[in-house]
Structures are given as C-alpha cells and as structure tokens.
Structure 1
Amino acid sequence: TGAASPGPALAAMAAGLTAQGAQILAMPCNAAHGWADAITAAPFVSMIDAAIAEALAHKPRCIGVLGVGATLALDLYGRASPVPVLAGNLAVVQAAVNAIKAGDRSAAPRAALAGEAARLAAAGADVVIAACTEVPLVLGQADVAVPLIDSTAALARATLAAARLPDRVNP
C-alpha cells in the first residue's frame, strides 16, 4: 500500500504509557497486532493470543475468523493457531464493518456477519472468532451455531488475568 509502518508510532505510544506508570499493555485492535513486535516497553497482552486461547478451549479442528484488513492480509490468526484457520469473505465482512463504523446497528450487518459465520461453520470451522472490534457490536452467540469468541472480550479477560499475577504491583 505504500503506507509507512505504524510500528514506530505504536512503540512510541507504548513507551509513553510505561513512562506514565503502565505496567501491562493491551491493544484493542486486531489489525494493529501485525506490528505488535514493535511494542517492547512493558509486558504486552496479545489480543490474537487471547482469542486463540479461548477458541482452543473448545477443542476445534478448525477456527473461522471474521476479520478485515491487516488481520487477514498478515494472517495473524493463522500464524498464531495450531489448528487450521478459515478466513471470512473479506468483501462481506468489510462491508458489514464499514456499516457498523458508520453507526448502522440494524439487522443488515448482523445478517451479513451471521451468514458469513454460518458459511465458515459449514466449511468446517468448529468455532468462530469475531476478529474485529466492531463485529460483536451486532453479532452475538445467538446468531452463530458454533461457539463465537469475541476477541475484545478475550483481550479484556487476559489483561485482567495478567494484572492479577502475584509479581504485579496493583493499587
């Protein structure tokens, strides 16, 4: 695309947060994890690893991913998963995400995402990861026949668990 890497900016933000006292860092954007290796300022909780861990608890043979952009282009979930990963149709998911970002919480983006989750399940996915923070704003477990993992919620749980480690100093 010719765009500059966001890695240096992410590293600078991480350094700024740790300078202000942050002891654990988390980044609630799946796609930005393509440059997470630039973040070395503090312990970093990976959204990708957190979602994969929750998906693996269901013992899947295959994981479906509803994501867009760098999440799919860099195969972030495929590289992190020990089981095969099927990506949702980018055109369908991107259109739904764009609608959600524009404020559309109607049945239309939900139906599109539910249809894509159903297609992934029919293709062999035993669990589906909502790998874009906008997806769970309209798509819930009731809309999907297989377990649905909200990557943002998985990140929150993993971050809280990391903050509770005995070697952490918490206020």
Structure 2
Amino acid sequence: MPKVEETDGQIVFIEKVPNGVRIFLAIVGLFPMFLAPYELLIRPKWNGFSLYLIIPILISVGAILVGGLFVAAGLFGLNQTFIFLAKSKTIHHSYESALMPLRRKTYKFSDIAKSSINTHDWTDGPSTYSLQFIFKDGQKIEISSFETRNEAEQSLNKVENLIR
C-alpha cells in the first residue's frame, strides 16, 4: 500500500521497499542458488555425463533462476516518490533502488498525455490497482498499488482535480 500525503495544492505518493525486505529477499534467493547445485551436482561426485544427470542439472538451473529472481527483486525493487505541485504546475518523480542512485525527473502538467488505472490480476490473491501516467514523450510511469479500485479512482480523481 502506498503512502499518500495530501496538503493544500500538493499530492505526494511514496512507495518504499524496506531494507529488511531487501535483505530477506536477497538471502532467500541466494539459498537455492547455491544449495541445489551443490547438493545435486557437486556433493554426489558424478563420474562423467549420464542420462540420470539431466534431472539434477534441470533442477539446479531452475533453482538458480528462481533464486536469481529473488535476488533481483531485493536489489532492483524501486523506491519512488511522485509529487504533484499545483503552485508550479509540475510533477516531480524521483526513484532509486539498492544498486541505482537516486534519479529525478520533472514534468509539467501539460506533458501528461493520458492518465488511467491499471488492474493487476494475480493468481494467488485479489487484484490490485495502480495509477499510470503516460507523457507526451512516451514515458510511462506507474505508481502505487491500491487494494481496491475505489481507492485508486479516488486518488486519480484528486490528481486530475489538482491538474485542472
């Protein structure tokens, strides 16, 4: 759930991945990346290639890929802030990850080509909703993850009212 702060003439969306979650994801990812290949390929001391070796190789490759996804999520998960300022009619977008330094971009309200709500359907839980802004230069920015469509619509309406 994003943190949404509203003050007079300003709306701020803040999304952060806590450092504890980053560390947990990285550790959980490293565990299968090293354990499966060691236990299935190195420890048994295979003597040459055989058909029976194909299954441990496939399992090890799968474990490395899944573990790599967890490590990537920990290292590349974005912290981002999106600030709409009515007074200057600008949008300030700043973002960073564990490996990427802080970057900032500024847009004018007139640069927005389209704003919409995206629905994310999950197989193991309820749908979530996010706000998407498409700018005239083709840049797409998706912010926030709302639990209900009503929350997303309320936030989008507030932003659109501020932009007018």
Q: TM-score of the superposition, structure 1-length normalised?
A: 0.26
Larger Rg: 2
Higher strand share: 2
Q: Which has the higher contact order (CA 8 A, sep 6+)?
A: 1
Higher helix share: 1
Q: TM-score of the superposition, structure 2-length normalised?
A: 0.27
